[in-house]
Structure 1
Amino acid sequence: MNPRNTSDLIEAYLKKILEERSMVEIRRTEMADLFNCVPSQINYVINTRFTIQRGYAVESKRGGGGYIRIEKVQVSSRHQFLKQVNQLFENEIDERDGHAIIHRLFEEKLITKREGNLLLTILSKQILSKSKDESKVRASILHGVLERLSYEEKE
């Protein structure tokens, strides 16, 4: 992936650190200075690209000694991981979160790139917008996929 904008650069920078260490602790203002942007852009990147659906736990403390701590969630077992992902949403899920889950399944090598691309297409707004309950249909499909992947592991 070639970073195209400041948000991409910030994301790539943090992911590079997380490749070397299991956790990174940053200060918003220092990161904003480093990337010559406003602190709210750091928040945007953290809130949209380092979510639990994408496999990250984020903890923050505001104030003078405040920090943002990002940690890559470790997967203990395939079955447990699939169960946890399945519990991240109930009867509805939006396209962005659905796609984040599919990307995470690929990163954890639970699906192939081809399977991931097919699932991204199936879960897309372009396909599901024909349904009046788009987010419910997406959630139902995704629950079914996660249950099937869990079932395959037991065989």
Structure 2
Amino acid sequence: MRNISDALEQFLKQLLQESPDGAIEIQRNDLADRFSCVPSQINYVISTRFTLEKGYLVESKRGGGGYIRIQRVELPMLKAIEGHIHQTIGNQVDQSSAEGLIYQLEEATMISAREANLLRAAINRDVIAVKLPLRDELRARILKSMLISLLVK
């Protein structure tokens, strides 16, 4: 059985998929009541699974009538992907940001789960066992090269 975080994530992604404009506004307390959990669990799921690196823009308004707005940020069209890769990754990229980009590409079905796993393995800090900032520079070069090979046909 899935845990509450997975269920919340899937529910929110389903709402986003059904939304005509790719955005949803939710009330933290309403969602907590629906899933019989505390509002901090909602915060945890949103802050860890709906990040900009993973392709989501989150806006939060606190207070009595507060809400959380989650919007899916679409990747540029495939013909512009190479420029997007160079711009997004730059000359250096830390492991967390690189994994976020890989996650976003996998979620958008631009790469397969197998390709995502290979990318994650290649950019892992334990594999690129050199000191910073050289490690982030090597990670950026490896990731850009692999993504361009996979995506630009």
TM bracket (short chain): 0.7 to 0.9
**Mean Cα deviation higher: 80-89 or 98-107:** 80-89
Q: Secondary structure at the match of 1:52?
A: coil
What's the Cα RMSD here? 2.6
TM (normalized to structure 2)? 0.77
C-alpha distance in 1 between matches for 2:30 and 2:15: 16
What is residue 38 of structure 1 aligned with on the other side? 38
Q: CA deviation at 1:45?
A: 1.1
What is residue 10 of structure 2 aligned with on the other side? 12
Q: Secondary structure at the match of 2:104?
A: helix
Give matches, 1:2-151, under 5 Å.
3=2, 5-21=3-19, 22-80=22-80, 83-84=83-84, 86-88=86-88, 90-128=90-128, 130-133=129-132, 134-146=135-147
Q: CA deviation at 1:50?
A: 0.8
C-alpha distance in 2 between matches for 1:104 and 1:111: 9
Preserved contact between residue 23 and residue 72 of structure 2 (Cα < 8 Å) = yes
**Mean Cα deviation higher: 80-89 or 111-120:** 80-89
C-alpha distance in 1 between matches for 2:34 and 2:57: 23
Equivalenced residues, count: 149
Once the two structures are aligned, what percentage of the paired residues are identical? 42
Q: Secondary structure at the match of 1:101?
A: helix
1:32-90 CA-to-partner distances (Å, cap 9, x unmatched) read 22223222221121111111221112112111111101111234422445544544455
